[in-house]
Amino acid sequence: MKILVTGGAGFIGSALIHELLAGPEFSVINLDKMTYAANPATLVDFENEPRYRFEHTDICDAGAVERIFREHCPDAVMNLAAESHVDRSIDAPDAFLRTNVMGTQTLLDVARRYWTELEGEAHAAFRFHQISTDEVFGDLPPGVAATEDSVYAPGSPYAASKAAADHLTLAWHRTYGLPVVLSNCTNNYGPRQFPEKLIPLMILNAFDGKPLPVYGDGAQVRDWLHVEDHARALVTVLTQGRIGGRYNVSAACEKSNMDVVTSICRFADELTPRPGGTRHNSLIEHVTDRPGHDRRYALDATLIQKELGWSPQVPFEDGLAATVAWYRDNADWWRPVRDGSYGGERLGLAAAT
Ligand SMILES: NC(=O)c1ccc[n+]([C@@H]2O[C@H](COP(=O)([O-])OP(=O)(O)OC[C@H]3O[C@@H](n4cnc5c(N)ncnc54)[C@H](O)[C@@H]3O)[C@@H](O)[C@H]2O)c1
């Protein structure tokens, strides 16, 4: 099965490509614009793989996307290409609307034209998989987990753009019959995540002895899933999901941001002790909260577990310890980013200033 993965040079897309290429049944075309969030070092792993092709392209470029469909004839599309950082969406929403909304619409349109011309089994088997987030459901009170039928209530420009893309995907199914599947996942963590996101930012600041900036009181709750569990869920949804089906992906692993940062400090104490034995948690600093910061996200993943048989395999503490160790052992991957395009500076205060 030939899969067109968009955003495969990013964090989740690269984990997905690793998962797809682990067995013999898939080949991959990776379509990526290589924005600041893509790391060329991520692609080195696939360089010598005969079942892998790379297309340096923007999903908003209809002509180029059309050419890629004609040339590679994919059996399915998995759309992960996105602007993905909430703080950047607060500072500059335009790129989020362009890629996440218009880019998804472009892909849907090209995919529809391509699928319409397919015949027989190829037409019947084609899928368009839109990869989305729990953030579309917005801030949830304690004890409530969003199901696939919960109302969308996005709070940030990022979440609003992803919500729009979800609606477009379902509209292309209802209006044109395009065979789509949609999955919404909780916060991911693991190797190769761009160090602007909470976990890698805290890990690298801890290694460098820099302050660990916790937004507000740090009591915001996120539901965490290891990226390899997400990659397995994505393959499951693509290959077994109902056409038009929506699936929540979660390990029901709720943690406050302070809990996460404290755990990172504990693993950093073990793996990279500070000179003089000072604890890493002495670096924690509470800073101005993110404008409009949602307090809590949580997803109910009963449907994917019961209907498709997926379940998470990586316990949070094991996955987090392994992630700290991965960043310790892979400075070649992240050092050029920290010394170049993003050194850890505060983003996303535009609305508050
Ligand atoms: N990270 C999470 O915790 C999380 C959770 C749920 C869902 N998601 C969703 O999963 C997807 C992947 O997230 P991620 O964390 O890997 O993001 P990322 O920022 O690490 O990677 C995004 C990738 O998309 C590429 N890209 C951006 N704009 C593009 C464009 N116009 N054309 C082609 N490529 C483009 C970038 O170059 C990059 O390689 C996103 O759709 C995101 O909304 C992420």
Q: Which residues are catalytic?
A: 134-135, 158
What's the angle, vertex CA 82, arms to CA 110 and CA 260, rounded to 5? 150
Asked if residue 131 has its Cβ within 6 Å of ligand 1, the reply is yes
Q: Concatenated DSSP letters for 305-321?
A: HHHH-----S-HHHHHH
Number of other residues whose CB lies within 10 A of the CB of residue 258: 16
Task: Tell me which of 60, 79, 84 to substitute to probe ligand 1's pocket, judged by most ligand atoms within 8 Å of the beta carbon.
Answer: 84
Q: Which two tokens stand for residue 17?
A: 């490509």
User: How does DSSP assign 112-152, residue by residue?
Assistant: HHHHHH--HHHHHH-EEEEEEEGGGG----TT--B-TTSPP
> Three-class SS of residue 181?
strand
- Is 265 a pocket residue for ligand 1 (Cβ < 6 Å)? no
Which of 78, 80, 107 for mutating ligand 1's site (highest number of atoms within 8 Å of CB)?
80
- pLDDT tens digits, one per residue of 103-136: 999 999 999 999 999 999 999 999 999 999 999 9
User: Domain segments of the chain: what residues?
Assistant: 2-194+224-252+296-313
What's 2-194+224-252+296-313's CATH class? alpha beta
Return the ligand 1 atom nearest residue 59 CA.
Answer: 32
Q: How far is the CA of 66 from the centre of ligand 1 (A)?
A: 21
Q: How confident is the model at residue 289 (pLDDT cuts 50, 70, 90)?
A: confident
Q: Which two tokens stand for residue 107?
A: 């892909």
Using alpha carbons, select from 133, 44, 40, 45 the residue that is nearest to residue 83.
Answer: 133
245 lines ligand 1 (CB under 6 A): no
Ligand 1 geometric centre to CA of 5 (Å): 11
Q: For the residues 43-63, what does the mean pLDDT come to?
A: 96
- Give the tens place of pLDDT for each residue, 203-241: 999 999 999 999 999 999 999 999 999 999 999 999 999
* pLDDT value at residue 353: 44
192: left (phi over 0), alpha (psi -120 to 50) or beta: left
Alpha carbon of 205 to ligand 1 centroid (Å): 23
160-196 pLDDT, tens digit each: 999 999 999 999 999 999 999 999 999 999 999 999 9
Mean pLDDT, rounded, for 300-320:
98
Contacts of 39 (CB under 8 A, 6+ apart): 9, 192, 194, 333, 337
* pTM (predicted TM-score): 0.97
What is the per-residue pLDDT for 42? 94
